[in-house]
Structure 1
């Protein structure tokens, strides 16, 4: 999932519990026709702009926004009984901000035109500066301080907005407040630079035909060649991951892995270092010892100590399992190659290859062969059908203006009322200059008092012909974020969709991954295959689940390393450290060690894209995801539970604290039993 606040993609990106996620934009606007979202009688759409149109539109929109703020400033001082008035005027302002920012953010990541991407990035930086000024506005802050909320939804919104103002420095002395503004503006620039360095890196890695041995014929035909007949592979996942799983040449895998790990370029190490220093300085402005202390106080975890305790518990469960799995894989490699065990080693570039061989031999599962079971043009209507059956909605394909011919758009219709409640764009296939992973942007959030409907944008880089089981899970996961956005039904846009605490935001999507692994949902895919595809037998399903469970020690250990590294560079000493040196030391202490010359922190996009001092949230969210799954009691296609989930979790957005919503859905307090059972292989399916 791609995160941002209602402010921008970086400002307060780790400070605010209720302003995180997908992009969280909104829509009804007093000047919507001049914005980057185009309102029609039927639906709001992303207005496709030429590069030269973007700056004038951005400038005029920001002028209008400043006029709106000035008009609010001139209003009489707010009284306790003015909560509805103050919250409504704030809601309208946030909608207008998001009308500008949302399309700019998604276009900066998916537009085929590099000039458009550059122009939208510049607009986002200017929008970020406006947002910083907005949350340092003492008059607007005073209006919120004065009101007395009349219900829990108003109370939570008021508290969240006050947190936003406080965390942007409205209560700091003038000199500190000004310095914080400089820091926030600079962090936005650094975030844009970091992502651009990754996204626009069109470097190709050359491999001889001999180095391509082991690759499927279908893969080979999709790759470009140079004049000498060598294959040229880039850094998109449909090229990289199958190669690491299937290429027989160990040296070729080593070379590709190093190039992939370094594709953020060395410049990003400097960008990350600058961000670490600025974040630490930001914490100091609030008299807090670290950036982690600053941001975690607004999340479920509350303190770094709670995160460290959780990570220690994960380490205790995972480390012995990781070591055993590596040893088992080493023994399998030695047996397969007929080499002495003492002389056999598993390198980082060996893991995916030998895991794939192990799965093929022990479970008769070949990830490339799975593509015939999950054709892409069947998997998409399948997940729409599953989602519709569970949550009581229909998805209607509609032709609208799109930024690339492959992009599809669907209206989301409530089955009971027959009303259009939202929309989803799908941009599924790789191309140069596009965001290189899989993510969902909640480009427009709902607001019932504004009569505003939401839409989300799903971005992936899938193989056009079919998905393997991992990619099917990715599709379901990211579409779960889209559902969280478009099925939200909140009164205020700031509480829409995925604007929940960062350490909960992944939970709905992680829970939804289970639908990519269970018979009652998977067996429906065959019905969408044209002319037809193999069906998933009970035996195959059992083997697929065994494949999913295999390697969980190494998988969770890697997540633990990422989370621990993130916390380390954002602790009270982190700003004094070199980010690559810290990574080399921490990865070097793991059983597989550090590969000299690799620069993973330079392409660890979460650190600059909203998850700084927050990566632990993936596992923290999974605790809640697996616990929520228990409510289905093994019957995943039960529409009654799906309807309850839609009402208590998806529709509520951030109107209530995440733990309260989960408690309501489960009928009890959440716990971590299912999560640790998953790690230990004891979770009942």
Structure 2
């Protein structure tokens, strides 16, 4: 029987998931590695002098089979894994890293790329950027080093791939291992929507009649908001903040990752891993990142102090007062929000049924860009909960496939993300993209979202539009293949539309009565939009500072991870009742791979862009056709085919201004 991973994907681009078994991947990767090696050998052995076509574009074409197999494998590892896939991942991830390292550190191949790079060529802007990126990839892989340096770079890449895979698997194992199983009489304060979701989760894990809470944000956040039993809030909060160090030891893995990243940076001539990573981003240097973080930290610090004092005042009115702790913040913040704004999620959520929020995002895309989404029930998917749509232009032409995987389950890692199964390109023929949005919403019926979850859906949809509407020649410059601190602009700007009154009226309807969300509720929601932003900004920035500290020049000597975290918190003057959004042992953004390492700051960097960009829509009209066209043509369609700041200036007509961010967060 033929391997389904080696059969060409149908024209729609969605893999034949039901036919794929874990055992198919080992032989598929073997075949893909071999095919790629042969393609690379053909480039090296090409008899004509190296030029843009036979070297740079040939490298761009090479590895198509490996890209296909890898996208399926690693997407499933994140979204729907199992023991067999995880065992294979410990072998495949290092092999992929070693394979890539050997290609991009190959001295003969590098000599051909270097020759093209040093030639005087008449290239388009996109071709020039492809050449620049290709040359940079070789340099950053160690191609310019001596033989012993190249060999050490290979070893480091292979070892890092194994360690980051182990880190991710440990987080998933600890997350799945923890269960707070409660009886009816222990649910004091929890509203019906929280109870329903917990009961359904318990049933899915064979605990009928009980209520199960997990470390998923969709489970733990409403529990911390409403649970009246302080000892239970403390228990689940501590389990969350100790993830990756309770049953597993991610602290030891982190220390090894940091040492290897530092060694790699120094081999390449950089002072630190942060310097190495930032050299290929908009920010360029750690000092530029720290300047932005500090600029926002000062007003944020003042605001969170005010918020903590307000919460302590509430606690002091209790029959038995106590000192505010981390596990109390959500609970008393919810009480204070209800007092000040007469607003709570229990009142809002009936208007945020998942399917209607999704359709609301679709409607925003239609009004902005003229695109529509039609259900595709005929496509083979990897889980019955998934949904598939085909996107069309206003003239009816197909753009690509958009997949949704909304619900949390033990086989899926935490968080929310966008990925692709096929990237757009126009190199030899037009290739339409296949996009997937993954979230971790509670699997309730109906699934009612919190306001934060509504923003999450719009955020990931924004990433999806970036991939979907890409219109470039080269796949490696397509969609979200941009500088890391530019990638969050399309996602974060979409969040602004989520709570605009006109948009809310289009999708926020009561799941039982079909009543449009009342105007006075919209008014209260908008009035509370900047409530608790001191906390939200503090927990985020604290994680940014922690990330930068781990990847600075002096982190390789750290022996006690909790002590290091405490030292960083003390250094920045962080309040003791607000932990970083992620502590080191479960900080997957920076330790599950390299992409966001020394890069968690990118959300606030991009917020400078998105807050400023959205003001253009506010000035010209929320759905102004000219503004939307400019954003689509200069940002969404261009991917990484030009300098990101040049793209932003082409859209906005000027550089971004940080004041919009401060206004957006209520920190000005």
Q: TM-score, normalised by structure 2?
A: 0.91
Q: How big is the shift at 1:656? A: 0.7
Q: How does 1:273-292 map to 2 (within 5 A)?
A: 273-292=255-274
Q: How big is the shift at 1:295? A: 1.1
| Stretch of structure 1 that moved more, 373-382 or 109-118 | 109-118
For 1:403, the equivalent position in structure 2 comes to: 382
- 1:604 equivalent in alignment to 2:587: yes
Choose which of 540, 555, 576 in structure 2 pairs with 1:574. Answer: 555
Q: How does 1:491-530 map to 2 (within 5 A)?
A: 491-526=473-508
Conserved in 2, the CA contact under 8 Å of 1:36 and 1:46?
A: no
Q: How big is the shift at 1:167? A: 0.4
- 1:216 equivalent in alignment to 2:191: yes
- SS at 2:421 equivalent: strand
For 2:441, the equivalent position in structure 1 comes to: 462
Q: How big is the shift at 1:643? A: 2.1
- 1:663 equivalent in alignment to 2:649: yes
Q: How big is the shift at 1:338? A: 5.6
Conserved in 2, the CA contact under 8 Å of 1:169 and 1:180?
A: yes
For 2:139, the equivalent position in structure 1 comes to: 166
Q: How big is the shift at 1:511? A: 1.0
Choose which of 369, 374, 378 in structure 2 pairs with 1:391. Answer: 369
Residues 569 and 245 of structure 1, relative CA distance in 2, 3 Å threshold: same
- Partner Cα separation in structure 1 for residue 141 and residue 331 of structure 2: 47
Conserved in 2, the CA contact under 8 Å of 1:283 and 1:291?
A: yes
- Partner Cα separation in structure 2 for residue 37 and residue 545 of structure 1: 52
Q: What is the CA deviation profile of residues 387-408 of structure 1, one whole-angstrom value per residue up to 9, with x for unaligned ones?
A: 1221121212112111110111
- SS at 1:548 equivalent: coil
- 1:646 equivalent in alignment to 2:632: yes
Conserved in 2, the CA contact under 8 Å of 1:458 and 1:479?
A: yes
Provide the alpha-carbon RMSD of the alignment: 2.5
Choose which of 18, 23, 39 in structure 1 pairs with 2:9. Answer: 39
Residues 554 and 497 of structure 1, relative CA distance in 2, 3 Å threshold: same
Residues 499 and 37 of structure 1, relative CA distance in 2, 3 Å threshold: farther
Choose which of 610, 613, 616 in structure 2 pairs with 1:631. Answer: 616
Choose which of 534, 542, 550 in structure 1 pairs with 2:531. Answer: 550
Q: How does 1:406-445 map to 2 (within 5 A)?
A: 406-416=385-395, 418-445=396-423
Q: How big is the shift at 1:215? A: 0.9
Q: What is the CA deviation profile of residues 293-329 of structure 1, one whole-angstrom value per residue up to 9, with x for unaligned ones?
A: 1111111111111112222212222111111111122
Conserved in 2, the CA contact under 8 Å of 1:503 and 1:618?
A: yes
Q: What is the CA deviation profile of residues 383-426 of structure 1, one whole-angstrom value per residue up to 9, with x for unaligned ones?
A: 1222122112121211211111011111122223x222211111
- Partner Cα separation in structure 2 for residue 581 and residue 305 of structure 1: 24
For 2:600, the equivalent position in structure 1 comes to: 615
- Partner Cα separation in structure 2 for residue 498 and residue 389 of structure 1: 22
Structure 2 gaps, min length 5: none
For 2:546, the equivalent position in structure 1 comes to: 565
- SS at 1:488 equivalent: coil
Residues 427 and 477 of structure 1, relative CA distance in 2, 3 Å threshold: same
- SS at 1:504 equivalent: coil
For 1:68, the equivalent position in structure 2 comes to: 39
Q: What is the CA deviation profile of residues 362-388 of structure 1, one whole-angstrom value per residue up to 9, with x for unaligned ones?
A: 112111332210111211222122212
- SS at 2:437 equivalent: strand
| Stretch of structure 1 that moved more, 485-494 or 258-267 | 258-267
- Partner Cα separation in structure 2 for residue 530 and residue 208 of structure 1: 28
Conserved in 2, the CA contact under 8 Å of 1:317 and 1:680?
A: no
For 2:158, the equivalent position in structure 1 comes to: 185
Q: How big is the shift at 1:34? A: 6.7
Q: How big is the shift at 1:563? A: 0.7
- SS at 2:402 equivalent: strand
Conserved in 2, the CA contact under 8 Å of 1:395 and 1:412?
A: yes
Structure 1 gaps, min length 5: 1-31
For 1:58, the equivalent position in structure 2 comes to: 29
Conserved in 1, the CA contact under 8 Å of 2:369 and 2:628?
A: yes
Q: How does 1:71-86 map to 2 (within 5 A)?
A: 71-79=42-50, 82-86=51-55
Q: What is the CA deviation profile of residues 572-600 of structure 1, one whole-angstrom value per residue up to 9, with x for unaligned ones?
A: 1011113332112333565541799x992
Q: How big is the shift at 1:140? A: 2.6
Q: What is the CA deviation profile of residues 575-634 of structure 1, one whole-angstrom value per residue up to 9, with x for unaligned ones?
A: 1113332112333565541799x9921111111132111111111111111111122125
- SS at 2:67 equivalent: helix
- Partner Cα separation in structure 2 for residue 382 and residue 37 of structure 1: 37
Conserved in 2, the CA contact under 8 Å of 1:430 and 1:460?
A: yes
- 1:200 equivalent in alignment to 2:180: no
Q: How does 1:147-166 map to 2 (within 5 A)?
A: 147=116, 148=121, 150-166=123-139
Conserved in 2, the CA contact under 8 Å of 1:570 and 1:613?
A: yes
For 1:366, the equivalent position in structure 2 comes to: 344
Q: What is the CA deviation profile of residues 325-366 of structure 1, one whole-angstrom value per residue up to 9, with x for unaligned ones?
A: 11122223334x266xxx542211111111111111211211
Q: How big is the shift at 1:553? A: 1.4
Residues 36 and 353 of structure 1, relative CA distance in 2, 3 Å threshold: farther
Choose which of 303, 308, 317 in structure 1 pairs with 2:290. Answer: 308
- Partner Cα separation in structure 2 for residue 173 and residue 346 of structure 1: 57
- SS at 2:427 equivalent: helix
Conserved in 2, the CA contact under 8 Å of 1:438 and 1:461?
A: yes
For 1:176, the equivalent position in structure 2 comes to: 149
Residues 453 and 410 of structure 1, relative CA distance in 2, 3 Å threshold: same
- Partner Cα separation in structure 2 for residue 349 and residue 564 of structure 1: 22
Residues 617 and 344 of structure 1, relative CA distance in 2, 3 Å threshold: same
Q: How big is the shift at 1:231? A: 3.8
- Partner Cα separation in structure 1 for residue 241 and residue 8 of structure 2: 39
- SS at 2:390 equivalent: strand
For 1:251, the equivalent position in structure 2 comes to: 231
Conserved in 1, the CA contact under 8 Å of 2:371 and 2:394?
A: yes
For 1:10, the equivalent position in structure 2 comes to: none
- SS at 1:68 equivalent: helix
Q: What is the CA deviation profile of residues 47-72 of structure 1, one whole-angstrom value per residue up to 9, with x for unaligned ones?
A: 45101111111111111111111111
Residues 673 and 594 of structure 1, relative CA distance in 2, 3 Å threshold: closer
Q: How big is the shift at 1:510? A: 0.9
- 1:537 equivalent in alignment to 2:518: yes
